[in-house]
C-alpha cells in the first residue's frame, strides 16, 4: 500500500526511492545519518536505478536478442582472425569518427556473435542501437505505402547511433532493394556508424546486386573509414555438432 509521500515521490520521478521508502527510512534511522548524508544516499540510489532502467530500455529497443559473450569466443578455432581489430571494435573506437565495422566470414565462424557483442557494448555505453538482418531492414522499408512514409523510415534508420545489419550477401537484391540499402548507407555515411556482417568478400558483392555502378558506390561508402575484419576457417557450429554427435550413446542394435 502506497503512502501520500510515496505517491509524491513517484510523481516527481523518484520511482526507486518511492518503492523502497520504508526500508530507506529504517536504514537512515539505524545509521543516524544527517539530512545531507540521507539525501546523498537517496540521490546515489536513484541515479543507479535510472541508469539500470535506461540500459534495459536501450537493450529492449536494440533487438539484439540472446547471444554468447565474447568470453565464450574460441580464439584458437578460426584459421585467421585479427583479435586486436575485434577488441578495438568492442571498445567502440570506430564510433569516435562515425566509422564502420565489416565482419566477413562464412557461416558458423562467429561473425554475428561478435556483431551482437559490439551492439551490446554500444548500448551499455549509452548509445541507441538497432540490430536486424539486412532482409528485415528491406522488408520494413519496402512495406511503406507512400513516399512520405518511406522518407520517414529512411530518416529513422539514418539517425540511430549504431545500426547493425546482419547477413548481407545471403540473398540477392532486386533494383529497388539495392537502391533502398544504398540510401540507408549513404544517409549514414560519415554521420553514424554501421556494423555489417557478410559471407562475401567485396569483389563478390556484384553477384548479389543488379547494378555495377550501385555496387561500386555502396562498397565505397561502406569501406571508407571502416574496420574490415575477415574471419577464416571451418564452421565452429559444425564442429560443435560433430562433438555432440560423438558424445551421444549409440542406439542398441535390433535383435
How many other C-beta atoms lie within 10 A of the C-beta of residue 241?
A: 12
Residue predicted with more confidence, 70 or 11 = 70
* Residue 12, burial from CB neighbour count under 10 angstroms (0-12, 13-18, 19+): exposed
Indicate the DSSP class of residue 78: S
For residue 255, the model assigns a pLDDT of 46
> What value does the mean pLDDT take over residues 57-62?
96
Look at residue 149 and tell me whether its pLDDT is greater than 90. Answer: yes
Q: What is the mean pLDDT of the chain?
A: 91
Residue predicted with more confidence, 13 or 205 = 205
Gap between the Cα atoms of 52 and 54, Å rounded? 5
For residue 56, the model assigns a pLDDT of 94
For residue 18, the model assigns a pLDDT of 87
For residue 238, the model assigns a pLDDT of 67
Look at residue 180 and tell me whether its pLDDT is greater than 50. Answer: yes
Q: Which residue has the cell 505517491?
A: 7
Task: Work out whether strand 129-133 and strand 226-231 pair parallel, antiparallel, or are unpaired.
Answer: unpaired
Indicate the DSSP class of residue 13: T
Contacts of 16 by beta carbon, 8 Å cutoff, 6+ apart: 45, 46, 49, 50
For residue 19, the model assigns a pLDDT of 87
Q: Which residue has the cell 505505402?
A: 145
Share of the chain above pLDDT 90, in %: 65
For residue 252, the model assigns a pLDDT of 53
For residue 195, the model assigns a pLDDT of 98
For residue 236, the model assigns a pLDDT of 78
> What value does the mean pLDDT take over residues 50-70?
94
For residue 3, the model assigns a pLDDT of 82
For residue 182, the model assigns a pLDDT of 94
Gap between the Cα atoms of 196 and 79, Å rounded? 21
**Highest mean predicted confidence (pLDDT) among 14-23, 30-39, 118-127, 206-215:** 118-127
> What value does the mean pLDDT take over residues 236-250?
67
For residue 11, the model assigns a pLDDT of 86
For residue 240, the model assigns a pLDDT of 66
- Best CA proximity match to 24, nearest among 39, 10, 12, 4: 39
Structural domains in the chain, sorted by start:
4-60 (no CATH), 70-240 (3.40.50.300)
Gap between the Cα atoms of 171 and 178, Å rounded? 11
Indicate the DSSP class of residue 229: E
Look at residue 244 and tell me whether its pLDDT is greater than 90. Answer: no
Q: Are 25 and 42 in contact (CB under 8 A)?
A: no
- Best CA proximity match to 134, nearest among 170, 103, 165: 165
Residue 163 grid coordinates: 545500426
Amino acid at each position: 500500500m502506497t503512502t501520500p509521500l510515496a505517491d509524491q515521490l513517484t510523481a516527481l520521478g523518484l520511482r526507486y526511492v518511492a518503492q523502497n521508502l520504508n526500508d530507506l527510512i529504517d536504514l537512515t534511522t539505524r545509521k543516524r545519518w544527517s539530512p545531507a548524508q540521507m539525501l546523498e544516499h537517496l540521490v546515489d540510489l536513484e541515479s543507479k536505478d535510472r541508469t539500470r532502467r535506461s540500459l534495459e530500455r536501450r537493450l529492449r529497443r536494440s533487438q539484439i536478442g540472446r547471444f554468447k559473450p565474447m568470453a565464450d569466443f574460441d580464439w584458437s578455432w578460426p584459421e585467421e582472425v585479427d583479435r586486436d581489430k575485434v577488441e578495438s571494435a568492442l571498445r567502440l573506437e570506430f564510433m569516435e569518427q562515425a566509422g564502420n565495422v565489416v565482419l566477413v566470414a562464412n557461416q558458423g565462424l562467429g561473425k554475428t556473435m561478435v556483431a551482437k557483442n559490439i551492439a551490446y557494448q554500444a548500448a551499455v555505453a549509452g548509445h541507441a542501437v538497432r540490430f536486424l538482418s539486412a532482409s528485415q531492414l528491406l522488408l520494413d522499408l519496402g512495406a511503406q505505402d507512400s513516399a512520405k512514409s518511406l522518407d520517414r523510415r529512411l530518416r529513422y534508420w539514418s539517425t540511430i547511433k549504431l545500426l547493425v545489419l546482419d547477413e548481407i550477401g545471403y540473398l540477392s537484391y532486386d533494383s529497388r532493394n539495392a537502391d533502398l540499402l544504398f540510401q540507408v548507407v549513404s544517409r549514414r555515411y560519415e554521420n553514424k556508424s554501421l556494423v555489417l556482417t557478410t559471407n562475401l568478400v567485396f569483389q563478390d558483392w556484384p553477384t548479389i546486386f543488379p547494378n555495377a555502378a550501385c555496387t561500386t558506390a555502396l562498397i565505397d561508402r561502406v569501406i571508407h573509414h571502416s574496420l574490415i575484419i575477415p574471419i577464416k576457417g571451418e564452421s565452429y557450429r559444425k564442429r560443435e555438432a560433430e562433438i555432440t554427435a560423438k558424445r551421444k550413446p549409440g542406439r542398441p542394435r535390433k535383435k
